[in-house]
A and B are shown apart, each in its own frame.
Chain A
């Protein structure tokens, strides 16, 4: 049969050549593409980096990893939501990112009673929401009430209940005076009034507060007093903000007068790291957040500016479980603190934008004290000696053993920051050398969240951080009455005076006198780091932005969120990309 077919086929005339032609065409396209890849487009003429007099106008194309799921900044729990919320709403006060000091914003001045249970704010009288309604004491009261209590019928959660614990009410003795009252002393409320991170107390118009959660997914109905207002929101894709006309109440300490310089800021969501950097280098965006550690140097080499700020609050920490074997042994906890080489992590994992933790508090938090020379140093010999004394003897595989049980320490961590895993692995290698088997489980946030509820009984170490630029963050995170990060329990956590920790940390909420508060913060850090060794801080995470040289004035606030009121482009007409 095949013979027959062959012969018929041979007889066929006019053999077609198209497979050859198309093959050649495909090859040609591939070659062209390859050449395109190989040729780096050097020498892109960038606008002169003339700083100096800010230029008005223009659109800033900004890229970031996350997108807004809700335009309501009080609801928002991710970075994109807090970042954008900061540019459409204002807060009562502004925390100076350099000094940590609380300075005026929508409140011109404030006072508090000696108990720190009542805070009186005198409000600016010239502030309006973008729907024209005035910002006054009634607005403060309505916002705080809903922020703390939520509204079941509107489907609004009590978003601010954790930031303002023990909130009773807001009194309005006159139109521009608001008195916020609490059940217990709450020194950290002053910083909370400037809070710009997730689920922030940004003020919304009374017209917005009346709307249900679903209605607030229309961004044009989410009305604030901020330097920008929503123009549009395409979920998963981008949020566009336009300049608020007549805005003139940015925080005095920012030294920006009047409206924002930019006409428009576009927040483009780009989940893929290589697409963010590619979009920056190809000029499709002017600036990008969420720059990976390995991308920093290449971008710098291509002439892009890298700006960053360490995340204020706690460092990335190893919280040591004080009631679970073997971290219920003080010697083990101390050995973990001493047993890993800080310089190795700094050299192999971190960039200049990050730093090794020298306390559980970030250096920018008031009351920070430096422990790099004492308990937070690399001293393997001392660590080994401590373990020896506590009866931990090296086993056959090098891992220490006591009463027949291996020195296995189980760590639960989050993989959201690229730096986490390699940093922990570096610690793991060093601890191995002194006979501690650190077992890493570094997982995405959902898995972490599911596990962390069982941390008390299942995990020796939980590795995370908490972003709050106030020393009371220690009370929130570690007080046995609140976060209880190391699971302190009288009688179960051997050798720890739980009441002593509760009292010492609680004092942070009882004074706003800087000297006294610093002293309390020192005592708290001494207990957590030195006396009971309940935490081994690792490194200070950072928010890193890369931007073109014609971009100026992107502000990092005290919570490392960005404000664009003072941002401008040297060549405002130059639109990013296409």
Chain B
């Protein structure tokens, strides 16, 4: 087996393991602990008065009546075919319910990612380009500021100003692009934080490198050197935190979608947990885990393409 094939197999295997582990842990947490999932199907105020045959019927409806190990194997088998059962609260198949709201979240998350990247590069470029120390300090403090502001608070603030006071954008619901603007900004700010921080640091490091001095000596302008030489080298590390960024996007979307009353996966997660919709929660967790695994897998597989040193060691047959 060549080094590349081994490397790929190793990474793919790890990704599969992560998804399986997520499925299993979720199953144990939701179906075995801490309460009988059948109890959670009923209004707690009425729980004691539910006739046992009704309980049995409802449990059978969701397959909760079988032995735990059978349920596990059964659900795992179905999950492999993309079937996570039906939502307890709506009767909809879990996969369909998730796919229905996923596009809204994807649009929001990807647009926020683009905006966040622009903001991050803007901050990093400006901080590197400026020669005024106070301005550089100010710009460099922005990333930690962006991470520190709770999405909840910034969301309410932009709503107050741009929706309730100025009336430029709708405060809730889905009305095309106008509904996207405020949530987009709200979500992009905290996501931009870590990226900007990383970029500012690597820009600083790269700016002190020898090739920059060469650039100066060749008569390059400050802006020219930054854009042509430094930018390319300094942006590589940003790829590394793709996983972290994805996590931030998901976490941020729960709150953003709630504050702006948007449809989406984040809001569905929150509701599914609040209403104890066990099959739905399980489906969402596995989906998120799978996405995490795939993103990290892609990053792992792209690395050798970008970094000649890693590529060399792989073709030489040395495990990384």
Chain A residues within CB distance 8 Å of chain B: 1, 4-5, 8-9, 12, 16, 19, 22-23, 33, 36-37, 39, 41, 63, 67, 69-70, 72, 75, 77-78, 150, 152, 155-158, 161-162, 165, 198, 212-214, 216-217, 234-238, 268-272, 274-275, 278-279, 281-282, 284, 444-446, 448-453, 464-466, 476-477, 482-485, 577-578
A278 to B268 alpha-carbon distance, docked (Å)? 24
Residue of A nearest to B87 (CB): A69
Residues of A contacting B170 in the complex (Cβ-Cβ under 8 angstroms): 284, 577-578
Nearest-Cβ distance from residue B198 to partner chain A, whole angstroms: 22
Nearest-Cβ distance from residue A17 to partner chain B, whole angstroms: 11
Known A37-B161, A78-B275, A278-B163; further 7 A-B contacts with Cβ < 8 A: A12-B221, A268-B261, A269-B261, A275-B260, A279-B164, A451-B35, A452-B44
A36 to B156 alpha-carbon distance, docked (Å)? 15
Q: Is the CB of A155 within 8 A of B44?
A: no
Q: Is the CB of B217 within 8 A of A16?
A: no
Q: Is the CB of A449 within 8 A of B35?
A: yes
CB within 8 A of B216: which of A4, A78, A212, A452?
A4
CB within 8 A of B164: which of A282, A477, A483?
A282
CB within 8 A of B171: which of A69, A275, A453?
A275
Q: Is the CB of B91 within 8 A of A77?
A: no
A5 to B100 alpha-carbon distance, docked (Å)? 57
Say yes or no for B309: interface residue by CB 8 A criterion. no
A-B pairs, top 8 by smallest CB distance, nearest first, are: A213-B91, A450-B35, A236-B263, A69-B90, A282-B164, A482-B49, A69-B89, A278-B164
Residue of A nearest to B38 (CB): A453
Q: Which of B55-63, B187-195, B294-302 has 4 or more CB atoms under 8 Å from chain A?
A: B55-63
Residues of A contacting B275 in the complex (Cβ-Cβ under 8 angstroms): 69, 78, 445-446
Q: Is the CB of A23 within 8 A of B135?
A: yes
Most A Cβ at <10 Å: residue of B44, B51, B61, B156: B44
Residues of B contacting A158 in the complex (Cβ-Cβ under 8 angstroms): 54, 57-58
Q: Which of B6-14, B76-84, B125-133, B236-244 has 4 or more CB atoms under 8 Å from chain A?
A: B125-133
Chain B residues within CB distance 8 Å of chain A: 34-36, 39-40, 43-51, 54, 57-58, 60-61, 86-87, 89-93, 100-101, 126, 129-132, 135, 156, 159-161, 163-167, 170-174, 213, 216-217, 221-223, 258-264, 267-268, 271, 273-276
Residue of B nearest to A215 (CB): B91
Q: Given the interface contacts A36-B165, A445-B274, does A234 sit within 8 Å of B92 by beta carbon?
A: no
Q: Is the CB of A272 within 8 A of B40?
A: no
Q: Is the CB of A155 within 8 A of B172?
A: no
Most B Cβ at <10 Å: residue of A4, A78, A236: A236
Residues of B contacting A5 in the complex (Cβ-Cβ under 8 angstroms): 213, 216
Residues of A contacting B87 in the complex (Cβ-Cβ under 8 angstroms): 69
Q: Is the CB of B156 within 8 A of A275?
A: yes
Residues of A contacting B45 in the complex (Cβ-Cβ under 8 angstroms): 464-466, 477, 483
A272 to B262 alpha-carbon distance, docked (Å)? 11
Most A Cβ at <10 Å: residue of B46, B87, B91: B91
A67 to B36 alpha-carbon distance, docked (Å)? 26
Residues of B contacting A78 in the complex (Cβ-Cβ under 8 angstroms): 275
Nearest-Cβ distance from residue B213 to partner chain A, whole angstroms: 6
Nearest-Cβ distance from residue B253 to partner chain A, whole angstroms: 13
A449 to B223 alpha-carbon distance, docked (Å)? 61
A310 to B183 alpha-carbon distance, docked (Å)? 36
Q: Given the interface contacts A70-B91, A476-B49, A578-B167, does A449 sit within 8 Å of B101 by beta carbon?
A: no
CB within 8 A of B49: which of A22, A216, A483?
A483
A451 to B258 alpha-carbon distance, docked (Å)? 27
Q: Is the CB of B172 within 8 A of A162?
A: no
Residues of B contacting A63 in the complex (Cβ-Cβ under 8 angstroms): 172
Q: Is the CB of B171 within 8 A of A446?
A: no
CB within 8 A of A70: which of B43, B90, B156, B213?
B90
Residue of B nearest to A446 (CB): B276
